Amino acid sequence: MSDRPPELTLADQAPANYECRSCGYVYDPSKGDSKTNTPAGTPFEELPETWRCPVCGVRRSQFINIGAKDAPSGFQENLSYGFGVNRLTPAQKNILIFGALALGFVFFISLYGLN
Ligand SMILES: [Zn+2]
């Protein structure tokens, strides 16, 4: 019906990180790679064919897309809703959720300390 491109989350729009399947090295486009003189901001897709893993030397084809690491997981227009929780990255949400669970568990255990 409409010509609008499919909506992407911020995580989809951010340049993806790629992980070496051989050694676990992660190529972060926002940092580039100093060992191979790759300037920060170079997407993995634009690395030369000759680019190799700076740690173990395997080819580009051995890298897998692990998605953007630090982008919020929601849509841009939703960021101001929900007390700012929507601005959190997935990792921060995990800390919030499991931190709250751990805190609740500590309170529960502390009940045993009551006489
Ligand atoms: Zn590697």
Strand locations in 8-55, DSSP E? 17-20, 26-27
Given a cut of 70, whether residue 81 has pLDDT beyond it is no
Q: What is the pLDDT of residue 100?
A: 92
CA distance 89 to 57: 31
Please give the structure tokens belonging to residue 27.
Answer: 């190529």
Please indicate, yes or no, whether the overall pTM of this predicted structure exceeds 0.75.
Answer: no
Query: CA 85, 90, 96, 101 torsion: positive or negative?
Result: positive
CA distance 56 to 46: 20
Note the CATH architecture for domain 1-73: Single Sheet (2.20)
Q: What is the pLDDT of residue 99?
A: 93
7, with CB counted inside 10 A (0-12, 13-18, 19+), is: exposed
In the chain, where are the structural domains located? 1-73, 79-114
What pLDDT, in 10s, does the model give residues 9-68? Answer: 665 667 889 999 999 999 999 999 988 899 999 999 999 999 999 999 999 999 999 987
User: Residues lining ligand 1 (ion), CB within 5 A?
Assistant: 20, 22-23, 25, 53, 55-56
CA of residue 110 to ligand 1 center, whole Å: 47
CA of residue 60 to ligand 1 center, whole Å: 9
41: region left, alpha or beta (phi > 0 left; psi from -120 to 50 alpha): left
CA of residue 29 to ligand 1 center, whole Å: 16
